[in-house]
Structure 1
Amino acid sequence: MSKITMRDVSVMGPSYVHFPFEYFLDSLQECGIHKVDLWGAEPFYYRPDYASAAEAAVELKRMKAEMKARDQKCVIYTPETLGYPYNFSDPLPRLTDRTVEYFRMAMEDAHVLDCPRVFLNSGCGPRNQPKEESMKRLVETFRRIADLAEDADILLTLEQLQPYESNLVLTIDDVKHVLDEVDSPNLRVCVDLVAMEVQGETLEQYFDTFGDKVEWIHYSDAHHEVVGSSTFGKEKLAHWIQLLEEKDFQNGIDLEVNDSIYWEDPHTPHMESCRYLREELGLED
């Protein structure tokens, strides 16, 4: 049985989209956060800005030094795919080829960061086409990316999405289909607790279905709001922590306090979420 503490909590960066990388790190430091979910997007870091892997590595090493100076470490790298010209299931080969290359570069970047994981989700297929056709292309693209991950010794964590975000991987059955079809030891599961609740599923079901393939947890209150501020309630929020401990889950939780309502001031909602984790749910530093 594991014990989840605040040192096992990481934070992702999209809410800080209007702030520089150093502000993000300073905010996490003030919150007492030591683990970083590095968002691969402007204004933090976007690999296509750099002409070569060597040039990109210079910037990544600088960023790694900034994290180290604050007693922080990148534990998962999340290259942005929902808001950029990337897609796993589009009929256009140039688009899926570009996406595979983007993830090849992401794995290079993860090695520079000494980070073992790269995050991905299904994105959305063309909504005027049958899900089955898009899912088939998704699996084909994921197989290519998973082959790269096996060669690079990188774990891929696949998150399920909500219907407004995607028409592909939304449910436990969708996740299982993709894992079964791709059939790679390096493809793991990221459970987004909000998307899980939208489908009426439970964290127990995810562990029953995937066991130790559950690699990552996106944790927040309902609608990705401040922990303790919305409709999930203390009992449910505490239960998820307790279940992870009972399952001897070693990878902690990744705070996804991620909504445009927080863009003007992302620090305060993260500080309040961390206060709730400490004072209401009893997570120790």
Structure 2
Amino acid sequence: MKIGMFTAGYQRNNIEDIFKDAKRFGYDYIELWGGRPHAYPYDLKRGQINDLLKLKEKYEMPIKVYTPEHNAYPYNYMIGDEYQRKEAIEYLKTAIEMGKALGAEYTILSAGHAGYDATRKEIWERLSVSIRELVEHAQAQEHMILIEALTPYESNVCTTANDILEIVEYIDSPYFGAMCDVVPPYVQSESIMHYVNKLGKKLKHFHIVDSDGKSDTHLIPGDGSIPLKELMADLIGSGYNGDVTLELVTAYINEPSLYAKLAIDRFKKITER
């Protein structure tokens, strides 16, 4: 099981710090956050990707996963008029192309909040149409996309294992799979391991962090209340053969290097036998 470093917390740092820290702290790969100033899809397309590819080669640090920023910045394909939906889809199609060009194995998507007026029928129709468009584009690129659940604090669309299973089974493509961030199930008293049981081989990736159980805050391992040692033992014992990213987002943006080091040190201690 390889361990990845998520890069959103480095957005106030020089981009080279990401690769330098990932190498010296012992991470196996980078999960690249696709937001400005470092890896916004349209900036990559206009040439910034060359800098990232050079750093990837210099530090011998793979970019295994690309996670473009979306849902509200300003792209959320689940809300607004058809023009806004289409614009969000075009943005994510570009993100898929950039994920492929970066050499990433996966580009990760989620489904933002659909608004309080949307009915379940309207939510499903918009989600299924949008995901089908994105998967068809990914298929044409021969690049795999994954969908993750968000917490109920963030979305009212895909927030549970059943939600993810429903859309993955409906689309049914070898280029479309699932991942699990452990915070959404934990904050709503859903079994994390049921993602493994329900999604089976469609489950390709995990975001591992800690949680206080009452917010969407992503904490470093050991600072929340998830029994991570026991969870990781169950996950490894289940036969899951994907990788895990320690997804520190912006709670530690003031000192990303210090917390990236602390996170992997604690995680390795949790998983040592």
Deviations 1:188-215 (A, max 9, x none): 1110101111222223311221111001
* 1:178 corresponds to which of 162, 167, 188: 167
Pairwise CA RMSD of aligned residues?
1.8
After superposing the two structures, state which structure 1 stretch, 90-99 or 190-199, moved more: 90-99
* Mapped pair 1:25 → 2:23: no
* Mapped pair 1:188 → 2:177: yes
Instruction: Give the partner amino acid of 2:75.
Output: Y
The answer for the alignment partner of 1:35 in structure 2 is 29
Counterparts of 2:61 and 2:28 in 1: how far apart (Å)? 4
The answer for the alignment partner of 1:79 in structure 2 is 68
Structure 1 stretches (4+) deviating beyond 4 angstroms? none
Q: CA deviation at 1:111?
A: 2.3
| Gaps in structure 1 of 5+ consecutive residues | none
* Mapped pair 1:10 → 2:1: no
Alignment of 1:141-220 (within 5 A): 141-220=130-209
Q: CA deviation at 1:91?
A: 4.4
Counterparts of 1:201 and 1:189 in 2: how far apart (Å)? 17
* 1:227 corresponds to which of 192, 199, 221: 221
Instruction: Give the partner amino acid of 1:21.
Output: I
Counterparts of 2:15 and 2:238 in 1: how far apart (Å)? 34
Q: CA deviation at 1:134?
A: 2.2
The normalised TM-score by structure 2 is 0.91
* 1:250 corresponds to which of 237, 241, 244: 241
Q: Contact conserved, 1:122 with 1:168, CA < 8 A, in 2?
A: yes
User: Secondary structure of the residue that 1:224 maps to in structure 2?
Assistant: coil
The answer for the alignment partner of 1:273 in structure 2 is 263
The answer for the alignment partner of 1:135 in structure 2 is 124
Change (3 A) 1:110 1:280: closer
Counterparts of 1:127 and 1:27 in 2: how far apart (Å)? 42
| Gaps in structure 2 of 5+ consecutive residues | 212-216
The normalised TM-score by structure 1 is 0.87
The answer for the alignment partner of 1:123 in structure 2 is 112
Change (3 A) 1:69 1:250: farther
Q: Contact conserved, 2:71 with 2:77, CA < 8 A, in 1?
A: no
Deviations 1:47-92 (A, max 9, x none): 3246xx4x43xx2132122022112000011111034221222241
Q: CA deviation at 1:177?
A: 2.0
Instruction: Give the partner amino acid of 1:110.
Output: G
After superposing the two structures, state which structure 1 stretch, 87-96 or 220-229, moved more: 87-96
Change (3 A) 1:185 1:159: same
Q: Contact conserved, 1:61 with 1:113, CA < 8 A, in 2?
A: no
After superposing the two structures, state which structure 1 stretch, 247-256 or 151-160, moved more: 247-256
- Give the fraction of aligned pairs with identical amino acids, expressed as a percent: 22
Q: CA deviation at 1:251?
A: 2.3
Change (3 A) 1:110 1:49: closer
Counterparts of 2:253 and 2:120 in 1: how far apart (Å)? 33
Deviations 1:125-163 (A, max 9, x none): 122322431232011100100111111111111110111
